Amino acid sequence: MLTYVALLNWTDQGIQNYRDTAQRADAFGAAVQKLGAKLLNIYWTVGPYDLVAVVEAPDDETATAALLQLGGAGNVRTTTLRAFDQEEMDRIIGKAAG
């Protein structure tokens, strides 16, 4: 599985409905699971982003579909980063070193 870090900011709709944020997180977790991905964790944060989600997915297409569904609900806007674990980074360095 590939790892993705999604940086989320509430839209006007999302902040108006802040009381439902935990339930929306649960619904997102269930939705990504139906796509074959997994919500590893979600954090509510202080600073330039309102939430940070860590998702595992089998491929970029699945991760993108999950985050499109999330954004399509209208409560958040996302910025998504592909994250590499140490084993993946070791392979990348090996390729780069030739």
Question: What is the arithmetic mean of pLDDT over 76-81?
Answer: 97
Question: Which of 8, 1, 10 minimizes the C-alpha distance to 33?
Answer: 1
- Give the structural domain span for 21: 2-97
Q: Express each pLDDT in 1-39 by its tens digit.
A: 999 999 999 999 999 999 999 999 999 999 999 999 999
Q: Express each pLDDT in 39-50 by its tens digit.
A: 999 999 999 999
Kindly indicate the confidence band of residue 98, based on its pLDDT and cuts at 50, 70 and 90.
Answer: confident
Q: How far apart are CA 59 and CA 82, in angstroms?
A: 10
* Structural domains counted in the chain: 1
CATH number at residue 59: 3.30.70.920
| Angle in degrees, CA 81, 83, 87, rounded to 5 | 165
pTM for this one? Answer: 0.92
Q: What is the DSSP letter of 5?
A: E
